């Protein structure tokens, strides 16, 4: 089963074993629902825990793990990265996980190769593709309909409208 990075444990909440998770998943309610298994990793240590309860509070996900309903059992997980199952069924049509976009080759409207997507920057209004050009410089391309002309993600191909000066 392929794993996908979905967040980091940033602290604890209360005394009943809730951990605070800074989530990067758009599907937190699904990722942390009762019975879901998630993987925690840090410094080469890996363990899998079952979610027992989940709620949102002040911009973080509060999760309680089965058999870990005591603050003394979960304090040690602060700083652990959280991974969940890579499940393409969570996505709607024309939606992709960030990992699906990394490595896509970018071509401008004239079909000229420009570079490759190396990462995605989150922006409150829209995501931004970070493209490493052949000369080693980076180019930022808004991942919105006005710029993206065609995408065939399974073929690692994206064509975009390159404005003068980009």
Task: Render pLDDT for 96-129 as a digit per residue (tens, 0 to 9).
Answer: 888 889 999 999 999 999 999 999 988 888 889 9
- pTM, full prediction: 0.67
* Percentage of the chain modeled with pLDDT above 70: 98
H-helix or E-strand containing 100? Answer: helix 98-101
Q: What does the mean pLDDT of the chain come to?
A: 91
Ordered by start, the domain boundaries in the chain are 3-90, 98-160
- The segments of the chain whose pLDDT lies below 70 read 1, 166
Nearest to 131 by CA among 123, 141, 144, 121: 141
CATH class of 98-160: mainly beta
Fold of 3-90: Elongation Factor Tu (Ef-tu); domain 3 (2.40.30)
pLDDT at position 136 is 92
pLDDT at position 1 is 66
The dihedral sign for the CA sequence 165, 153, 91, 40: negative
């Amino acid at each position: 089963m392929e794993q996908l990075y979905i967040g980091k444990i940033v602290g604890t909440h209360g005394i009943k074993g809730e951990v605070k998770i800074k989530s990067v998943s758009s599907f937190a309610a699904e990722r942390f629902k009762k019975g879901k298994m998630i993987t925690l990793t840090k410094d080469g240590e890996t363990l899998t825990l079952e979610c027992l309860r989940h709620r949102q509070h002040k911009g973080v996900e509060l999760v309680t793990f089965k058999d870990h309903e005591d603050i003394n059992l979960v304090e040690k997980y602060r700083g652990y990265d959280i991974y969940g199952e890579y499940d393409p069924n969570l996505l709607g049509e024309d939606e992709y996980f960030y990992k699906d976009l990394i490595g896509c080759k970018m071509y401008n409207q004239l079909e000229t190769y420009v570079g490759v997507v190396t990462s995605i920057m989150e922006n409150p209004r829209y995501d931004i593709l970070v493209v490493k050009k052949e000369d080693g410089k980076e180019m930022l391309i808004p991942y919105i309909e006005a710029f993206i002309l065609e995408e065939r993600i399974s073929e690692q191909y994206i064509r975009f409208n390159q404005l003068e000066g980009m």
